[in-house]
Amino acid sequence: MPELSRRRALTAAAALATAAGVTTVTALTASASEDPGHPQHAGHPGHPERSEHSGHDQHAPASFDEVYKGRRIQGRPASGGAHQHHGGGYAVFVDDVELHVMRNADGSWISVVSHYDPVPTPRAVARAAVDELQGAALLPFPAN
């Protein structure tokens, strides 16, 4: 039997890490797709329905207005403005300050505060921002 070399050990470790990462991503994708606020196209999980003519979702996220951990969070269809392109025509606010959000190609949402933690809905992105801010005020995001 051949002796285990450093190269073979590292190759095996990389293969195991890759397999574990794929399993984690698959589990996260499956749990996100179970969220009732996550629009999906039947037969194509993770891909929101899009109108052929408008390029916008046929089922836009619902508006919300609530207090979460003592902070007022709101979300509603955007009425124009500089950030409409990235947010897909949807605006999110924390204590009446707009939270810059972006919708990813897979339908998940991120914000300038929690950029590396995609979530399934605008409400979830607002809550994640409140969690990340830990009581600090959200400052307005400068328009370029």
Q: What is the pLDDT of residues 60-110, one digit of tens each?
A: 799 999 999 999 999 999 876 544 556 678 999 999 999 999 999 999 999
CATH number of 64-133: 3.30.1880.10
pLDDT at 46 over 50: no
Burial 119-134 (b: 16+ CB within 10 A, else e): bbbbbbbbbbbbeebe
List the structure tokens of 107.
């339908």
Q: What is the mean pLDDT of the chain?
A: 75
Q: Which of 1-15, 45-59, 69-83 has the highest average model confidence (pLDDT)?
A: 69-83
The stretches of the chain forming alpha helices (DSSP H) are: 6-33, 122-133
Q: Which two tokens stand for residue 99?
A: 């939270």
> What single DSSP character describes residue 126?
H
Give the model's pLDDT for residue 130.
Answer: 97
Q: What percent of the chain has pLDDT over 90?
A: 44
Q: How much is the pLDDT for 25?
A: 52
